[in-house]
Every structure is written in C-alpha cells, then in structure tokens.
C-alpha cells in the first residue's frame, strides 16, 4: 500500500511506516524514552531525506513524551525550576541548532552531517549500553552493584549564579544546567531526538540530581524542546511531513501501550543489551551508507 | 475494663508475642492505623511491625541509573521507617519490626502474610470522607478477601488521639 509523502516527495509503503512507528513506540513504552534516536535513523535508512526524517523524529518524540510527562507531573516528580533552567538553555540550543541545520542544507551537506552526527552519537551510546549490560549480566546480583556518584564537591560548585532547587535538594550554579540544556537542544534540532537518553545520565552524574525527579524533569525539557524544534523546522526549513508523521504516530501510540504493559515483565539486563545492540546496528548501517559507493554517483537537483 | 485487660496481658506470655502489622503508605490516615496499633500493643501486649512497599524501578535505558534509582528508593524507605520506629518506641517502649519489600503493595502484603506466621493482626485505617476506604482495603475486603490469612482490623481514619485512646 504505497502512499505519497508530499513534503518528502516520494512514495513509501504505508504499512512499513506503521510498522516502524509501532516498533519505535513499543521501545519507547518499554523504556519510557522518546524513541527519536531510533526513528530518525530508521527513516534515513529507508530513504527519507534527512531534513524530513529529523523533523518527523522530533515530532514523534513530542507525541511519545507528552503522556509520560503528564503521568510524572501527577506524581509530583518534576522539578519545575530545574526544568525551566534546562529549558532556557534548550530553547537557545535548539534555535541555534535549527540555524545550523538550515545552513548545512543550503550548503548541500545536511545528509552527510546528520548521518555523521548519528554515527558518532549512536555508536558511543550503543557501545556504552552494551558494555554496561554485559557487565551487569556477568556479575548478576553477586553483590549490590554500587553505582558510585561523583565526588560531592567539584569545580562545578565554584561557579557563580547559584540557585536553590528545592525539589532536587540542590544549591548549585545555573551555568551547568544551562549548558546541559543547550547541548541537548542543539542535538535535538540537528538529530531530531528528544535527548532523554543523554539528558538523564547528565542530570544524575553532572548535576547530582536525585533519581526520583530525573525522569519527570527530563521529560519536561524534552516535550518543550522537541515542540520548539518541530515548529522551527516547519517554519524555517519547511520539512515536517504531515502524512508521514500521522502514520508514524498512529503506529507509535499503539506500540507504546503494548510496550508499557510489557515493561515490568522483561529482564532488565537482556532487554537493555538488545537495545544497545539495536542502537549499534543502526549506527553501523548509517556508517555503511556513508562510506559505500552510492548507487547513483551523480544526481541532478534544483537549488532551493 | 482496662485494669483486667492489662493484668491479663501481663500473665499470658503468648499474647505478648502477637504482632500488629501496619502498612506504611503515603496516605494521611496511616498515622491513625499506626497509633492504634501502638496503643493496642502498649495496653494489651504485643509488637508492631511496619511494612513499606517500594515501587520497583521499571526498565531504564542505562543500567547504572536504574541501580541508583533502586538504591535511592530503598534509602528513602529506610529513613522513613526509622523515623516511624522512633515514634513507635516512644509509645510502646519497644522497637518495631521493619520490613521493606519491593513490588505491588497488595501482592507483597499478601505474600508477607503467607510467609510470616508471626503476624497475627493486620491494621489498616480507612480514608475519611466519601471516596471509599482506599484501594488496599477495597481489595482486601473484596476480591482478595479469601487470600487473607489473619484478622483484619479497620480503623476509621477520622478518629483523633482521644478517641483512639478510648477504643484501645
């Protein structure tokens, strides 16, 4: 069942899109993540142009994260003040990221740049995930695996503009959260991800936030930054494809329900290792796409 | 006849071994259940056990984050229980048994009652107001009633200290 995507200017199998949406939604329900970091590269791999894939990834992340944010908000697990500081950085970062994206597109380098970003980020993340879970499987519950926090006092505490974050029980400078928000914002704009999978460890290890508020607060940042990215991408790059997004979201919503109900039944380490392998294989697929000889060595296109 | 009851408690050793189990959740009425159990233990003999069920950490993409979450939840539960233990000690003069379980609170409670034959009475307080007694009580007096292996005491959540003193 082929459908024509008006913005991507190509036709694809609607069932394939529904399937991808379902699979990514399933994973996002299972792990409580946005899933943009898998959706965008998968779309690129089936031939969707990078700008459209990135914008749709951001959109999908938004859809997947809103319900999570509402749930966390009800349980009072959002540090609003920290969320707003992160968001301030995130807005600046995503606005700049979209400019960068538009500049790359004008230079005709956007496909290579997005793929390259993905190969680096997904490669690193996938490797870390696999390593972590393999270790956990090897010494399963022999002793309580102690996750060491970094030292209580670092140079981060010497920075100015301190602010009290009551819910996180922190009194720290707002510079680190602003920078973290900024970095995630740039990645969100260029890669079409929510960035939760990097934001969560950054909040715990860099900012020292308690884990109980980390998920909710990161979702807060992700929802608003990905909304901003979708809007800016649609406005400045003109690359949000409504047909594509609707099909993906339809599959995604169903998948997320399915994943969320399975979440507690699966063994953590194995599932996590599989996720890591999946992330790695997507990175390898993109890397192969970058280095192999293209089918059409030359292409003729209209300059926009 | 409080006098005779206390005398009876002093003579019967078996009675001193009975254990009142209180489920420590985040509801305001749990304080009523705890106070009732403490007063019963003080006046009639027996000990108090506190059960806190913590929510298991679901799948998180980073294993280290998941482990840390679990540790923090456990620490929080321990801190909470040790605070309440001091309260119990003040009323009964003895320290309660502290139990921390991980899972769904109704299932863990039923499992604990099955596993631990020392527990003799389960004390729960009903939520005041017209919104029903609370999910745990609704389950234990409804669909799961047949799985209950000890008597269940329901304390109205609106009782104040004086009234609690009178009924124990």
The pairing of strands B47-54 and B19-23 is parallel
The mean-pLDDT minimum among A31-40, A199-208, B73-82 falls in: A31-40
Cβ <8 Å between B65 and A145: no
What pLDDT, on the 0 to 100 scale, is given for residue A145? 45
B contacts of A169 (beta carbons < 8 Å): none
* Model confidence pLDDT, tens digit, residues A78-118: 999 999 999 999 999 999 999 998 898 888 888 888 888 88
Helices A50-74 and A110-138: angle between axes, nearest 10 degrees: 50
What's the rounded mean pLDDT across residues A216-244?
A: 87
Cβ <8 Å between A32 and B58: yes
What is the pTM for the complete model shown? 0.76
- Residue segments in chain B with a per-residue pLDDT below the cut of 70: 1-16
What's the rounded mean pLDDT across residues A207-234?
A: 88
What pLDDT, on the 0 to 100 scale, is given for residue A77? 84
**What percent of chain A is modeled with pLDDT above 90?**
14
Cβ <8 Å between B63 and A272: yes
Residue found under tokens 């998948």: A255
What is residue B116's DSSP assignment? -
**Residue B136's closest CA among B18, B19, B30, B20?**
B30
Top pLDDT among B39 and A28 is at: B39
Give one DSSP letter per residue of chain A, joined into a string. Answer: -EEEETTTTEEEEHHHHHHHHHHHHHHHHHHT---HHHHHHHHHHTT--HHHHHHHHHHHHHHHHHHHHHHHHHTT---HHHHHHHHHHHHHHHHHHHHHHHHHHHTT-HHHHHHHHHHHHHHHHHHHHHHHHHHHHHTTTSS----PPPPSS-GGGG-SSEEEETTTTEEEESHHHHHHHHHHHHHHHHH----HHHHHHIIIIIS---HHHHHHHHHHHHHHHHHHHHHHIIIII----HHHHHHHHHHHHHHHHHHHHHTTTS-HHHHHHHHHHHHHHHHHHHHHHHHSPPSSS-------
**Residue A7's closest CA among A37, A35, A44, A48?**
A48
Cβ <8 Å between B68 and A30: no
* Model confidence pLDDT, tens digit, residues B83-104: 999 989 988 888 899 999 988 8
The mean-pLDDT minimum among A26-30, A54-58, B5-9, B14-18 falls in: B5-9
Residue A37: CB atoms within 10 Å:
30
A174 burial via Cβ count (<10 Å: 0-12, 13-18, 19+)? buried
What's the rounded mean pLDDT across residues A13-34?
A: 84
Cβ <8 Å between A197 and B71: no
What pLDDT, on the 0 to 100 scale, is given for residue B6? 52
Q: Residue length, chain B? A: 168
What pLDDT, on the 0 to 100 scale, is given for residue B43? 87
**Residue A194's closest CA among A6, A16, A22, A63?**
A63
* Model confidence pLDDT, tens digit, residues A227-237: 998 888 888 87
Print the SS3 string covering B118-138.
CEEEEEEEECCCCCCCCHHHH
User: A264 falls in which pLDDT band (50, 70, 90)?
Assistant: low
- Mutation pick from A76, A211, A213, A266 vs chain B, by most beta carbons of B within 10 Å, is A211
What pLDDT, on the 0 to 100 scale, is given for residue A56? 84
**Residue A35's closest CA among A23, A49, A50?**
A23
Find the chain A residues whose C-beta atoms sit closer than 8 A to any C-beta of B.
Answer: 30-33, 129, 132-133, 135-136, 144-147, 149, 197, 200-201, 204, 210-212, 214, 263-264, 266, 268-269, 271-272, 275
Q: Which residue of A has its CA nearest to B72?
A: A211
- C-alpha distance from B13 to closest chain A C-alpha (Å): 40
Contacts of A292 (CB under 8 A, 6+ apart): none
The secondary element (H helix, E strand) that includes residue A70 is: helix A50-74
Instruction: Give me the residue from A30, A133, A204 closest to B65, CB to CB.
Output: A204
Q: What token pair was written down for B10?
A: 């002093």
Top pLDDT among A154 and A73 is at: A73
B130 burial via Cβ count (<10 Å: 0-12, 13-18, 19+)? exposed
* Model confidence pLDDT, tens digit, residues A144-197: 444 455 445 566 667 778 888 888 888 888 888 999 999 999 988 888 888 888
What pLDDT, on the 0 to 100 scale, is given for residue A91? 93
What pLDDT, on the 0 to 100 scale, is given for residue B9? 47
Residue A50: CB atoms within 10 Å:
26
> Is A195 in contact with A224 (CB distance < 8 Å)?
no
Cβ <8 Å between B64 and A211: no
Tell me, yes or no, if B13 comes closer than 8 A to chain A by beta carbon.
no
Cβ <8 Å between A200 and B59: no
Q: What token pair was written down for B55?
A: 């929510």
Q: Between residues 97 and 156 of chain B, which touch chain A (CB distance below 8 Å)? A: none
């Amino acid at each position: 069942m082929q459908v024509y995507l008006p913005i991507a200017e190509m036709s694809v199998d609607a069932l394939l899109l529904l399937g991808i949406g379902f699979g990514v939604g399933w994973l996002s329900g299972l792990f409580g993540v946005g899933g943009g970091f898998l959706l965008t590269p998968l779309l690129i791999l089936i031939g969707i142009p990078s700008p459209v894939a990135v914008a749709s990834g951001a959109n999908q992340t938004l859809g997947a994260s809103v319900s999570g944010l509402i749930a966390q908000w009800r349980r009072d697990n959002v540090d609003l003040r920290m969320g707003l500081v992160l968001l301030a950085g995130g807005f600046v970062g995503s606005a700049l990221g979209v400019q960068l994206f538009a500049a790359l597109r004008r230079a005709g380098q956007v496909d290579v740049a997005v793929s390259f970003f993905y190969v680096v980020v997904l490669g690193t993340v996938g490797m870390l995930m696999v390593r972590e879970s393999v270790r956990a499987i090897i010494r399963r519950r022999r002793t309580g695996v102690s996750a060491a926090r970094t030292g209580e006092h670092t140079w981060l505490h010497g920075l100015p503009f301190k602010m009290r974050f009551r819910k996180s029980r922190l009194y720290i400078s707002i510079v680190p959260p602003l920078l973290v928000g900024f970095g995630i914002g740039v990645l969100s704009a260029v890669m079409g991800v929510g960035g939760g999978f990097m934001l969560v460890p950054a909040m715990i290890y860099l900012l020292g936030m308690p884990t109980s508020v980390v998920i909710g607060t990161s979702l807060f940042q992700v929802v608003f930054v990905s909304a901003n990215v979708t809007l800016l991408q649609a406005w400045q790059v003109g690359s949000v494809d409504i047909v594509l997004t609707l099909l993906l979201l339809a599959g995604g919503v169903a998948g997320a329900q399915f994943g969320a109900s399975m979440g507690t039944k699966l063994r953590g380490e194995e599932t996590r290792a599989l996720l890591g392998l999946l992330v790695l294989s997507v990175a390898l697929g993109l890397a192969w796409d970058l280095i192999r000889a293209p089918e059409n060595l030359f292409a003729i296109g209209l300059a926009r | 006849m409080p006098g005779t009851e206390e005398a009876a408690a002093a003579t019967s050793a078996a009675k001193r071994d009975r254990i009142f189990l209180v489920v420590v959740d985040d509801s305001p009425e749990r304080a009523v259940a705890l106070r009732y159990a403490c007063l019963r233990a003080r006046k009639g003999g027996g000990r108090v056990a506190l059960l806190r069920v913590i929510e298991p950490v679901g799948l998180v993409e980073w294993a280290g984050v998941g482990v840390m979450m679990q540790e923090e939840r456990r620490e929080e539960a321990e801190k909470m229980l040790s605070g309440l233990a001091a309260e119990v000690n003040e009323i009964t003069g003895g320290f309660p048994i502290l139990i921390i379980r991980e899972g769904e609170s109704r299932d863990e409670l039923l499992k604990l009652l099955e596993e631990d034959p020392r527990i003799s009475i389960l004390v729960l307080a009903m939520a005041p107001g017209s919104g029903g007694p609370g999910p745990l009580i609704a389950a234990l007096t409804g669909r799961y009633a047949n799985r209950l292996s000890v008597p269940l005491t329901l304390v109205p959540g609106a009782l104040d200290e004086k009234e609690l003193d009178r009924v124990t």
